[in-house]
Structure 1
Amino acid sequence: MTRLFANLFAVKPAHEMAPRSSSNLSSDEKLAHAIQRKCLVLNLDGYTQWHPQNPDHPRNWTSSRKAYNTAVILLLEFITSAAGTAGTSAAAEAQSDYNIGLGFSIFCLTSTYLIGQGIGGIFFPPYSEVFGRKILYILSTLGYCTFSILTAAVPSLPVVIITRLLTGILSAIPTIVVAGSIEDMFNMKARVWMIFTWAVIGNIAVCIGPIFSTRWVFYITSIGLGILFVFCLLLHESRPSLLLERKVATLRKTRPDMVIKTLNPDSAPNAKTLLQVTLVRPLRLLFTEPIVMMVAFMGSVTCALFYVSAESLLLVFEAYGWSPQTASLSFIPIALGCLCGFFTRLYDHRKLANRTKDGKTLEPEDKLFGFAIAAPSLAIGKTSPSPTPRKANKRSGLWVFAWMTPPATNVHWIVPMLSLVLVGYALNENVYTLTGYLADSYTIYAASGFAGLILARASTSAVILPFARPMYVNLGYNRATSILAAIATAFCVAPFVFFRYGKRIREVSKFAKYSLTTYQYNQVENDLNVTK
């Protein structure tokens, strides 16, 4: 197992530099030698590319550099995700502070945050593809820290609404751009574990946030981000196309007599191009790319199901006679369920290793086994090993929680708690498999694909969340959760659609093809058995 995780940060040996140029060389040969001395290569079209063993490419970084970048950005994701969902619990305190209704308080502290996250999700991911990841991590950490202080310290409802909206906008950076950074540094096999780690950390933070039912959580957030800001200053930029442009720019200064070309589709030489990349591209992907549309729809419904069911936890366990603080501990089994995905990743790793050993092509659909288990687990519970939702045994996750809780029955509280483990597993697997599928389908433009996902997910949850508590109060806890379980049951067919038609859908997605072509210009690995 130690060897398995050590391989995630493995680096290839540096390429031997080209021999010194001679005065007898032609201009073309001098150009080739100058480029090779930078550990770059010329392709057949005359464009400068990365050499497969260039140590400056993020895929070839040292283990310590990869580990540092990964740890900092994942910690940023953890803190901001926990602070985001803490707003729901803090809404009860804000209700009395500002003399407003609970539904409106939830809207002010949580819905505005999610709306901001959807807005930021459109602009920041493609912006990071043009100007790099590092600057956004620095700005988001500093801005989130500042606005969290204002949220906690200023006793004004308009200020709280504005600051929560702004922190939501900034939260889109770690929520989405982190996955792009992971794609920068790790190949398809390593991403099996890295995307899983990112999903687990984010989802556990989502579960931890509601446990802190006081506005002091915003002070804690600001302190943590203030410390993390210093570490963000020491991050290394990981966008390969931007790093290549910087290396070529240095080469052009030393050899102004040479014409050195790069194929950089991320460049934005004017405001029109920048608008096209940062706004038009994500929206176009969301409404024209079949893959993005499907993933965004399923991701938004899954996230909405979680937020609504999470609203019910305090109500349900308070019916057992627990205090609100004790009832908030019901998020712990959901967090434990997220960790159970580790065993699914072992299966994925073994499967991918066997396919590579047999010389078979790896497809994005090969990593959807967890989704095939998660879909029925969310509603139906224990499933068979086969990745076919039709064969699931009729035991339940949300169904158990719906009818094994008061007032329908007074069974021991451990029963609904155990069902929440399945809910947590399904939540994490859905996030991991769907985002991983986008990363493998759109490679270096994965962040633009995630923008559509986060917009749909955040806007759906923001609209539904204020109505969750009234729904449970008016319909009753059991019937309200049954509605969620019925929706989740209908989703059991989704894995079958991906297994059967996923490759065909990718083949008709124009931007997915374009992403593959662009990736081939920026890749450094000769992994011929991996398709993106």
Structure 2
Amino acid sequence: MGEPRTEVFESTALASLHTDIEHDSAAIKTPDEDKSSDPDVVDFERDDPANPRNWSTGKKSFNLTVVSLITLLSPTTSTVSSPISPAIMKHFNTTNEMVGAFVTTVFLLGYVFGPCIIAPMSEMYGRAILYKVCIVLFIVFNVACALAPSMGTLIIFRLLAGIMGSCPITLGAGSVADMTTAEKRAGAMSGYVIGTILGPSLGPIIGGYVSPDKGWRWAFWLMAILLGAIAIPVMLLAESYPYVILKRKTEKLRSETGNMHLRSALDTGKTPRQLFAFSIWRPLKMLMSPIVFLLSLYCALVYTFLYLCFTTFPVLLNDEYRFGSGPSGLATLGLGVGSILGLFISGGSSDKISKYLTKKHGGEAKPEYRLPVLIIGAFFTPIGLFWYGWTAYYHTHWILPIIGTGFIGAGMLIAFMATTMYVVDAFTMYAASVTASNAIFRCLFAALIPLAGPSMYTKLGYGWGNSLLGFLGVAFIPVPVIFYRYGERIRKSKMFNVEF
């Protein structure tokens, strides 16, 4: 028993859709820290087996592995339709390339709307039940995609699949934080992040190689089968959300002792309706901050560039390089390899640079010390866009455009990692909401803007079309420089102080 202690933990870009209560309660104190004498406060006892931090290594590993696998399959499903969009268009007798691209990007609209429902529900009922319900519905909607009788129904089922698929993206990093201490969290979080990085690159490979032999519907059937296989261990997941565990423990003790004054150490005093509203609106309010808005806009643009690549690769590689759908999907590995490179660059240098600058400037750690990595990474994206665009325009060897996309993938990952670490440090009390703002913004952009990709490339060509995007990337290079020099002043300025 005791009062809860709030601990700010290092969040990754993919911890972006948690609610603040999840962030605050993910770090449960040990009983000897600020222990309250109030006998009516129910908390974890020392070495309490109900505390996810005290689970056995085997139990933790099982839960973390299952969550990571679901998280891998969700973004894989998001892009599985990319290389088969021409076959889908032909089957439904449409030549509208915007509609063909929307079959892929509409999944991301599910990533926008899903967390608004899933995150508040998880606060009331826990993570485990949401994983179980969503995986079943995820399978159902993928089967529905495989059986879709029209383009319209296919798009609707893809949207619903995206909503269900957003569950591990919403809750996954919180699950990692539930079971690991800050000192040991990096390794577990890296395993979780790797899945989210590789997923978007694996989807086109699966779709590209399955479609020619079995037809485009089998890409969705295969995803449903893979999800069905992982659904079995998902049903064995244990609840790891401390807020819900303590709530259940409190209810049990009330029943056993008859003491109705008992309350959970993590009880916020909010009604379910208040928690639901609280979770939905705060991320939107945080976009009013110039720091959050500009960095979220930058991440949204970079993420949009990524999905522009996914939606235009089939046309480029099939028409210009005469690739089949299989090799066309395999070409997206350039983005995956670049993303992994960006993960190593960001993860390997961010803490070192921050510690160096902290020591250099008198020992006071500041969020702005996370931004030098972003300044470096900001050059990767425009370099990749120019490289990809002009090598494709001049029909150079196919490996050169793919290398260019590797730079785009590296720039994307560095942007996500660096901006997330910065905003988590800068807005510690609202870390989960601020990263949610970032995610909602970027998924909305990535779902809609790539729809204009085919017509843009038709008018401008790959050279000038990608150059236009590259110039947008260049325009954002000064943003991390400005925030590095003046970010602290902006954060503390009354003019830009937004009440959250």
TM range (shorter): 0.7 to 0.9
Q: Deviations over 1:38-59 (max 9, x none)?
A: 9997437885545676554334
State the partner residue of 1:30. Answer: none
Query: Is residue 79–residue 104 contact of structure 2 (8 Å, CA) maintained in 1?
Result: yes
Correspondent of 2:36 among 10, 30, 43 = 43
Q: Secondary structure at the match of 1:404?
A: helix
Structure 1 CA distance, aligned partners of 2:196 and 2:263? 40
Mark the runs of 5 or more structure 2 residues left unpaired by the alignment.
1-9, 11-29, 209-215
Q: Is 1:75 aligned to 2:69, yes or no?
A: yes
More moved, 46-55 vs 415-424: 46-55
Rate the CA distance shift 1:198–1:368 in 2: closer, same or farther, 3 A.
Answer: farther
Residues matched between the structures, number: 459
Could you say what secondary structure the match of 2:323 adopts?
coil
Match of 2:160 among 166, 181, 197: 166
Partner of 1:487: 472
Cα RMSD, aligned residues only: 3.6
- In the other structure, the counterpart of 1:528 is none
Q: Is the 8 A contact 1:125 1:451 kept in 2?
A: no
Question: Per the alignment, do residues 506 and 85 of structure 1 end up closer, same or farther by CA in structure 2, a change over 3 Å counting?
Answer: farther
1:521 corresponds to which residue?
Answer: none
Distance 1:118 1:332, change over 3 A: same
CA contact (8 A) 2:246 2:265 kept: no
Q: Classify the secondary structure of the residue corresponding to 1:99.
A: coil
The answer for the alignment partner of 1:232 in structure 2 is 234
- Alpha-carbon distance in 2 for matches of 1:197, 1:444: 26
Shift of 1:335: 1.0
Residue 299 of structure 1: aligned partner:
299
SS where residue 392 of structure 2 aligns?
Answer: coil
Match of 2:444 in 1: 459
Q: Do the aligned partners of residues 179 and 316 (structure 1) sit closer, same or farther apart at CA in structure 2, a change above 3 Å counting?
A: same
Residue 472 of structure 1 and its aligned partner are, at CA, apart by 0.6
Structure-2 separation of matches of 1:495 and 1:189? 28
Describe how 1:145-156 pairs up with structure 2 within 5 A: 145-156=139-150
User: Among the aligned pairs, what percent are the same residue?
Assistant: 26
Change (3 A) 1:291 1:410: closer
Between stretches 91-100 and 62-71, larger displacement belongs to 62-71
- 1:310 maps to 310
- Counterparts of 1:194 and 1:364, CA distance in 2: 23
The question of whether the paired residues in 2 share the 8 Å contact of 1:122 and 1:283 is answered with no
Partner of 2:389: 402
CA contact (8 A) 2:72 2:195 kept: yes
TM-score (norm 1): 0.75
1:90 and 2:90 correspond:
no
Q: CA deviation at 1:181?
A: 2.3
Structure 1 residue 275 displacement after superposition: 3.9
Q: In structure 1, what is the Cα distance between the partners aligned to 2:498 and 2:236?
A: 35
Larger Rg: 1
Q: Please list every run of 5 or more consecutive structure 1 residues that lacks an aligned counterpart in the other structure.
A: 1-7, 9-36, 380-395, 516-532
Which digits, 9 at most, give the CA deviation of each residue in 1:491-512, with x for residues without a partner?
2223324433455566679xx9
AA aligned to 1:92 is P
| Residue pair 1:58, 1:184 contacting (<8 A) in 2 also | yes
Kept in 2: contact 1:40–1:50 (CA 8 A): no
SS at match of 2:82: helix
Q: Aligned partners of 1:497, 1:193: CA distance in 2, in Å?
A: 32
* 1:333 partnered with 2:326: no
Q: Residue 107 and residue 401 in structure 1: after superposition, are their counterparts in 2 closer, same or farther (change >3 A)?
A: closer
Native 8 Å contact 2:98 2:454 kept in 1: no
Which whole-Å deviations, capped at 9, do the CAs of 1:69-88 have from their partners, x for residues lacking one? 22111111111111111223
Amino acid at match of 1:201: G
Describe the shift of the 1:478–1:45 C-alpha distance in structure 2 as closer, same or farther (beyond 3 A). Answer: farther
Quote the offset at 1:420 in angstroms: 2.3
Counterpart Cα distance in 2 of 1:161 and 1:403: 33
**Structure 2 counterpart of 1:420, from 358, 383, 405:** 405
Equivalent pair of 1:40/1:48 in contact (CA under 8 Å): no
Residue matched to 1:34: none
Aligned counterparts of 1:514 and 1:56: Cα–Cα separation in 2: 37
Question: What is the DSSP-based 3-state SS (H/G/I as helix, E as strand, rest coil) of the residue aligned with 1:100?
Answer: coil
Cα pair distance change 1:356/1:133, threshold 3 Å: farther
Q: What does residue range 129-144 of structure 1 map to in structure 2 within 5 Å?
A: 129-144=123-138
Q: 1:114-513 alignment to 2 at 5 Å?
A: 114-211=108-205, 212-213=207-208, 214-257=216-259, 259-264=261-266, 268-271=270-273, 273-285=274-286, 287-289=287-289, 292-318=292-318, 319-340=320-341, 341-348=343-350, 364-379=367-382, 396-406=383-393, 409-438=394-423, 446-503=431-488
- Deviation string 1:200-229 (CA, Å, 9 cap, x unpaired) is 321221112123133312111111111211
Aligned-partner Cα distance in 1 for 2:243–2:149: 46
Cα–Cα, structure 1 residues 478 and 398, in superposed 2: closer, same or farther, change >3 Å?
A: same
- In 1: Cα distance, 2:473 partner to 2:498 partner: 32
The superposition leaves residues 236-260 of structure 1 with CA deviations (integer Å, 9 ceiling, x where unpaired) of 2222222222233333333334733
Shift in alpha-carbon separation, 1:189–1:470, aligned structure 2, 3 A = farther
Q: 2:104 aligns with which of 107, 110, 118?
A: 110
Q: Which moved more, 1:448-457 or 1:479-488?
A: 448-457
Q: CA deviation at 1:280?
A: 2.8
- Report if the CA contact (8 A) 2:83-2:328 is conserved: no
Describe the SS at the equivalent of 1:128: helix
CA contact (8 A) 1:134 1:235 kept: yes
Is contact 2:346-2:417 (8 Å) kept? no
Change (3 A) 1:293 1:206: same
Question: Kindly tell me: are residues 363 and 98 of structure 1, through their superposed partners in 2, closer, same or farther at Cα, counting changes over 3 Å?
Answer: same
SS at match of 2:161: helix
Displacement, 1:331?
Answer: 0.9
